Amino acid sequence: MSEMRKITAFVPADLLASAQAYTGEGVTETLRQALETLAHQAFYDQLRALKGKVNFDDFDLDELRRDRECDAHGNVIDSD
C-alpha cells in the first residue's frame, strides 16, 4: 500500500452509518473502500471511453496467446 495520510472530513452521519452497515467495517475501512470504488470507477470510465477507438485488426491472436518467459519485472525474455 502507498503512503498513508490522516484526514479530517465532515460527512453526514446517516450516510456514514449506512455505509458502515453495508461494509460491516469501521470508519477508516469504510472510507478506504469508498475511495477505492471511486478510483476503480474512474478507470472503467476511461476504459469505456476507448470503445471503438482501438483497432484489433493489427493484433495476431495466436502470437498473443503464445506463452513467453518473463523476468521479475514482466519484461519478455528473448528466447531467440
**For residue 61, what is its C-alpha cell?**
491472436
Q: What pTM was estimated for this model as a whole? A: 0.60
pLDDT digits (tens, 9 = 90+) for 43-79: 999 999 999 888 888 888 888 777 778 888 888 887 6
Q: How many CA atoms lie within 13 A of 28 on its CB side?
A: 4
Cα separation, 19 vs 16, in Å, equals 5
Give the residue extent of every domain in the chain.
13-65
Is the pLDDT reported for residue 7 higher than 70? yes
Cα separation, 27 vs 18, in Å, equals 11
